[in-house]
Chain A
């Protein structure tokens, strides 16, 4: 097992790569999955809330009532009354909705309401989450419409009375209940998101580590030395393969384990079978970057190149697996491409596995196996290419074999 031990020593000498890529980057996924907040857990419907700011130059009962009406659907953020502050608030996304109430608005509004003419307009600014802005705008419209109606119906009512009555009317809300469906979000989804995101870290990490390992062991003079040794070629290759597998297994176990430790609630909500199949799917996925790293090593790619390939492919695969933006809002063309990529099948397998019963039936397991099968096929294809390249490379003068002697003649 000398080759195997030597390969692990090489890995130890390049410890910075597993440290940065496998250990370091895995925390990125953790951060992100932890930052997720899920709306509601049970029957109680919690309406969305937006961030709003009201610049009140009027300070009348009407504008005060607007702030009260908005407080039911959002959280107030203070914004100073100058253009730079407005730009700051909107550009940095501190507010979704910025409302400017001009001076004398309350009186002008009351006069218009009593005469039945169009109300004076208010300036609003939406931030880039424009849907939230529209939502908050609706609340303002609803409140103002109530004030208008009361003022029109009771010409003698004061502005304060009208505002109080309007707020009372707006307080009469319809009932909203959560309808339970099978598609609801659970803690397991947080873990699933972590698994989905780890496609990037796993892909980049394993590709780079294996690329480094095979490139270092495949240098011309090292190959020459090992070829002249009495060690059978098959044994050499098996030991190298074993070393690659150990590195991959480390990446797999580390990534899965810290996910499991960080999300204990998800673990308890999933069955043992579910967790096991998730872990197996992840391992099947890990084999793809293993094969790619091996291929890069055979192409004698430099470490910088395997670094770049690992990162770029990792990002593209995680993106096409839906880790950046949910896949269901992508265009159909992107979706079709996504299905040709391993990230999609890995997520499918994990998604199915996470919802397994404690004693899964064969019908539930088969689709997971199919997705894993696709992943293994990806591995097989890359591996075959890598072996072909390796075969062709042994015939070149730099590979350390007989070809070098031929060229010398």
Chain B
């Protein structure tokens, strides 16, 4: 049994096709993700919005508006990066001229009959933040308008109202009503979800290991399998050792990818590495079981089974939200509409198991996901059971 284990493992490690999938693939994609999400996380902190402002006139409203723009474009957490021009036409020209460049303006603001009016570009790029930025600008101007209306009302009701320092302070001092708190152990970062989805995909591609090992176990799928059936090792022992070797290799490769993610990718697992490795172990088990189940498909050459594995994994990962922002949104929508789709998707379960380690302070959600993964593994092993047990090939 030990020999079976040892030589299966050696053969697997020496097969370039298998190692490319289980080791090189997660390492390459993690590197891609590091390049991709490094700048994205910085971007979550909104940069000041570039906006064109038509220089207001010297009326009371004009001065108040100028003061408002100045207040929002100074200090530490400034919101606006204004460029002043003389007329609305000039402003529109400037916005249009820069719309296609790397540094576009989100629009321009002008004072029309004492009331601010924003002209915004709307959504000009796929997945960009323009619409949100325009909305924030609109909301700021709304706030300004509401405040101006309030001041007017107060003065018309009681001309002396604004003389009261409490009222002045209430009207003009910025409101700091809320304090951000954390209910999860770490603050969720958008990019972390992609790394977890990647771990899900990489784990499932590890199914190739189980698939290849199983193919070499059966008498009718490979020459090696045919030789092994006449060997002295009992079939049960051979199966156990082969599966153990495949699982160990997938686990080891995934653990390397995980370590690379934490060290080179800077994904913080905040002292929960032990729990993460448990998830890695469960994920490798599901992958090995998946490989076994695919290997049980009759009358299909090994390459065909590999093709099916790729297809299954790509689709599962699509619904786990792997392929970039639009996919993540699609995955969110699907899991909100059909929660059952999450339960049968191993990639989603794996990434959510990681997620629950990071963001819950109880072990409940993690245990739930691990339970589902174990059930999946058992079901997949059951599917392959009939083809894995001892059988007769081409017997008379």
> Interface residues, chain A, CB within 8 Å of chain B?
14, 16-17, 20-21, 24-25, 28, 31-32, 35-36, 38-40, 45, 47-48, 73, 83-84, 86-87, 90-94, 98-99, 113-116, 118-119, 121-132, 134-135, 137-142, 144-146, 148-153, 169-179, 181-185, 189, 193, 197, 200, 208, 212, 302-305, 307-309, 311-312, 315-316, 319, 323-326, 328-331, 333-334
Select the residue from A99, A176, A193 with max chain B CB neighbours within 10 A. A176
Q: Determine whether B44 belongs to the interface, using a CB cutoff of 8 Å to chain A.
A: yes
Decide if B67 is an interface residue (CB 8 Å cutoff). Answer: no
Please, what's the 1-or-0 string for B81-119, where 1 marks a CB less than 8 Å from any CB in chain A?
000000000001001100110101001100010011111
| Chain B residues positioned under 8 Å from A175 (CB to CB) | 112, 115-118
17 contacts between A and B (CB under 8 A): A45-B120, A92-B335, A94-B336, A121-B178, A129-B190, A137-B178, A151-B170, A174-B141, A185-B124, A302-B16, A307-B17, A308-B21, A312-B28, A315-B29, A316-B32, A319-B32, A330-B35
Q: Report the Cα distance A115→B167, complex, angstroms.
A: 10
Interface residue SS majority, chain A: helix
**Interchain CB contact (< 8 A) of B311 among A21, A118, A134, A184:** A21
B315 proximal to A (CB < 8 A): yes
Interface string of B211-236 (1 = CB under 8 A from A): 01000000000000000000000000
CA distance in complex: A36, B145 (Å): 33
Give A48 Cβ to nearest chain B Cβ, in Å. 4
Q: Which residues does chain B contribute within 8 Å of A331, judged by CB atoms?
A: 35, 38-39
- Besides A24-B311, A84-B360, A328-B102, 12 other CB < 8 A contacts? A17-B303, A25-B314, A99-B178, A134-B136, A138-B140, A153-B167, A178-B120, A181-B96, A304-B303, A311-B314, A315-B29, A325-B40
B359, A90: Cβ atoms under 8 Å? Answer: yes
Q: B48 interface residue, CB < 8 Å from A?
A: no
Known contacts A99-B178, A302-B17, A304-B18; is A48 also within 8 Å of B135 by CB? yes
Indicate if the CB atoms of B123 and A38 lie closer than 8 Å: yes
Residues from chain A with a CB closer than 8 A to the CB of B356 are 91
Are B175 and A316 interface neighbours, CB within 8 A? no
Contact of A40 among B123, B169, B170 (CB under 8 A): B123
Write out the residue numbers on chain A whose beta carbons fall within 8 Å of the beta carbon of B184. 87, 90-91
Q: Pick from B256-264, B279-287, B325-333, B372-380 the stretch touching chain A.
A: B325-333
Instruction: Establish whether residues B330 and A125, one from each chain, have CB atoms under 8 Å apart when the complex forms.
Output: no
Closest A-B pairs by Cβ, 5 of them: A324-B324, A304-B17, A174-B141, A116-B166, A20-B311
Contacts of B131 in A (CB 8 A): 39, 48
Q: Given A131-B44, A138-B140, are A181 and B360 also a contact pair (CB < 8 Å)?
A: no
Find the B residue at minimum CB distance from A37: B329
User: Does B122 interact with chain A (Cβ within 8 Å)?
Assistant: yes
Q: Mark B133-176, 1 if CB is under 8 A from A, else 0.
A: 01111111111111101100110001001001111011100111
CB of B126 within 8 A of CB of A153, answer no
Is the pair B310, A307 in contact by a Cβ cutoff of 8 Å?
A: yes
Residues of B within 8 A of A116 (CB): 165-166, 169-170
Chain A residues, Cβ within 8 Å of B136: 131, 134-135, 138
Of the candidates B139, B158, B300, the one whose C-beta lies within 8 Å of that of A139 is B139
- Chain B contact residues, CB within 8 Å of chain A: 15-18, 20-21, 24-25, 28-29, 32, 35-40, 43-46, 92, 95-96, 99-100, 102, 104, 107-108, 112, 115-129, 131-132, 134-147, 149-150, 153-154, 158, 161, 164-167, 169-171, 174-184, 187-190, 193, 208, 212, 300, 303-304, 306-308, 310-311, 314-315, 318, 323-327, 329-330, 332-333, 335-336, 355-356, 359-362, 364
Complex contact A329–B146 (CB within 8 A): no
From the candidates B24, B126, B134, B325, name the one contacting A189 in the complex (CB within 8 A). B126
A-B contact count (CB 8 A): 353
Q: Which residues of A contact B362 (CB under 8 A)?
A: 84
Question: In the complex, what distance in Å separates the CA atom of A339 from the CA atom of B13?
Answer: 36
Distance in angstroms from B256 CB to nearest chain A CB is: 16
Specify which of A83, A115, A179, A325 lies most central, judged by the most chain B CB atoms within 10 Å of its CB: A179
Are B304 and A14 in touch, CB under 8 angstroms? yes
Contact in complex: B39, A330 (CB < 8 Å): yes
How far, in whole Å, are A93 and B174 apart by their CA atoms in the complex? Answer: 29
Give the Cβ gap from A159 to chain B, nearest Cβ, in Å.
15
- Docked pose: A197 CA to B327 CA in angstroms: 11
Tell me whether B170 and A148 are in contact (CB under 8 A): yes
Name A15's closest neighbour in chain B (CB-CB): B304
A169:B150 contact, CB within 8 angstroms: yes
Residues of B within 8 A of A141 (CB): 143, 174-178
Chain A residues closer than 8 Å to B303, beta-carbon distance: 14, 16-17, 212, 303-304
The listed residue with most B CB atoms (<10 A of its CB), out of A183, A311, A330, A334, is A183
Closest to B16 in A: A305
- Write the nearest CB–CB distance from A377 to chain B, whole angstroms: 24
Contact assessment for A325 and B178 in the assembled complex, using a CB-CB cutoff below 8 Å: no
Nearest CB on B from A211, distance (A): 10
CA distance A182 to B359 in the complex (A): 43
Given contacts A20-B311, A39-B122, contact A319 B36 (CB under 8 A): yes
A21 to B129, CA, bound (A): 33
**Shortest distance from the beta carbon of A67 to any chain B beta carbon, whole Å:** 15
Task: Check if A174 sits within 8 Å of B318, measured CB to CB.
Answer: no
Contacts of A14 in B (CB 8 A): 303-304
A146 to B361, CA, bound (A): 38
Let me know if B170 and A172 touch, CB within 8 A.
no
- A35 and B170 alpha carbons, distance in the complex (Å): 45
* B128 CB contacts on chain A under 8 angstroms: 326, 328-329
B16, B92, B142: residue with the most chain A Cβ atoms closer than 10 Å: B142
Question: A152–B36 contact, CB under 8 A?
Answer: no
A23's nearest neighbour on chain B, judged by CB, is: B311
Question: Do the beta carbons of B124 and A184 come within 8 Å of each other?
Answer: yes
The one of B96, B122, B145, B208 that contacts A173, using a Cβ cutoff of 8 Å: B145
- C-alpha spacing A146/B16, complex, angstroms: 68
CA distance A40 to B165 in the complex (A): 44
With known contacts A47-B138, A181-B124, A184-B124, A86–B314 Cβ distance under 8 A: no
